[in-house]
Structure 1
Amino acid sequence: MKLKDLKAKNYFFQAIDHPILERILCKNTSKHIWDSMRRKYQSCAKTKRQQLQDLRTEFETLKMKSGKSITYYFSRVMPIVNKVRLQGDKSDDVSIVEKILRSVTPKFNFVVFAIEESHDIDNLSLDELQSSLLVNEKKLIQPEQEEKSLQVSTPAGKHDKTETNGYKDS
């Protein structure tokens, strides 16, 4: 029995972050460690409800910032969605897809319209939405990059000195 307890304690020590580990080092058995962790992380229903409300508010107020990429925006949205789901909320992909479509920057308005018209939003997954937005983002960025590279390759204010009246002297 003692060997099994030591193995269980070892698994706890490997899986737990250092700051928490310091709190449980004084516990004698794996059962004491388990009970301590359960008391610490098992919130009461009222606390869970409040945390869920806070996460929902954070999710609803989230908007894509101008100049930021779709990848960056999804990296801000998905952790919140995952936390909401971990709290026990069974929100479906449809509400998340609709929220994302509402909160992207105005330069994606035509993309949002096209997605809404061409896809059944009820059946559109988050992965499909992200993929579609990424493809369109690349199409939006490509002309800007080409224009910048043309501006760099043609210095402003430099003209051929031999040109007069619109004709070049040969």
Structure 2
Amino acid sequence: MSFSPPPPVFVGENYNIWVVKMKTYLQAHDLWNVVLADIEQPPLRANLTIAQIKQHNEDTTKKYKAMSYLQNGVLDVIFTRIMTCNSPKQAWDRLKEEFQELDKTRQQQLINLIRDFENLKMKESGTIKQYVDKIMAIVNNIRLLGDEFSDKRIVEKVITLLEKYESKISSLEDSRDLSAIPLTELINALYA
């Protein structure tokens, strides 16, 4: 039997991060469809084959496994909010309803993060790594809020703000089309 790590635990903060981790965790255990579908298993009928009985038992077990992972994936103070839920979908939806920021709040967060991205400047004493780390922290938060933020836009930002590395960027432009350079390749070239 292989070891399975425990589910990620939601502590009441960073709900969007927990959702991504928990969804992946449930997918890895083949339980995500159980959360999405919310299908109640009908009672067993008479004259079923052994295979049908086995399938019924597996489907019922999956529902309880998914519910167990969700219940164990939250602190006790949050568990009390979902403990009366009868299905994994009901628990998932209740957590979403309570903890996912309202669209208006989410949109405002997105606007603020994009503004932070646009206004970000590299400090004179800063390193490329520090600068790129700040950019990626902002971009990852933007993406967690559901915005499709392209690598091309990040590359453009890196290129336009690295004035003290202008000679390096010029040599890169001579050898590559910077509008098509992958972000990781640009970062590695600048680190070098």
TM bin (shorter chain): 0.5 to 0.7
Give the direction of change, closer, same or farther, for the CA distance of 1:88–1:4 in structure 2 (3 Å limit).
closer
1:132 equivalent in structure 2: 189
Q: Is 1:56 the counterpart of 2:111 in the alignment? A: no
**Helix, strand or coil for the counterpart of 1:67?**
coil
C-alpha deviation, 1:32, in angstroms: 4.5
Confirm or deny: 8 A CA contact 1:59 1:80 kept in the other structure: yes
Instruction: Label 1:131 to 1:14 Cα distance change in 2 as closer, same or farther (>3 A).
Output: farther
User: Match for residue 78 of structure 2?
Assistant: 23
Task: Compute the TM-score of the two structures, normalised by the length of structure 1.
Answer: 0.64
The aligned length equals 131
Q: Please say if residues 155 and 186 of structure 2, whose CA atoms lie closer than 8 Å, have aligned partners that are also in contact.
A: yes
- Separation in 2, partners of 1:28, 1:66: 56
Equivalence for 2:147: 89
Q: Distance in 2 between matches of 1:9 and 1:71?
A: 42
SS in 2 for 1:78: helix
CA deviations 1:34-63 (Å, max 9, x no partner) are 222110244444333222211101111112
Does 125-134 or 108-117 show the bigger shift? 108-117
Contact 2:156 / 2:179 at 8 angstroms: preserved in 1? no
Bigger share in helix: 1
Counterpart position of 1:70: 128
Structure 2 unpaired stretches of 5+: 1-40, 42-59
Distance 1:10 1:55 in 2: 35
Q: Which of structures 1 and 2 has the bigger CA Rg? A: 1
1:94 CA displacement = 1.8
Confirm or deny: 8 A CA contact 2:152 2:179 kept in the other structure.
yes
The residue identity in structure 1 corresponding to 2:69 is Y
Instruction: Give the TM-score normalised by structure 2.
Output: 0.57
Asked whether the equivalents of residues 155 and 183 of structure 2 are also in contact (C-alpha less than 8 Å), the reply is yes
Aligned to 2:23: none
1:109 paired residue among 149, 160, 166? 166
Cα deviation for residue 64 of structure 1 reads 1.9
Q: CA deviation at 1:3?
A: 5.7
Q: Percent identity?
A: 33
Query: 1:49-101 CA deviation, whole Å, 9 max, x = no partner?
Result: 22221110111111222333222222211121122223332232222111111
Question: What letter is aligned with 2:142?
Answer: V
Structure 1: stretches of 5+ with no match in the other structure: 136-170
Structure 1: distance between partners of 2:182 and 2:107: 27
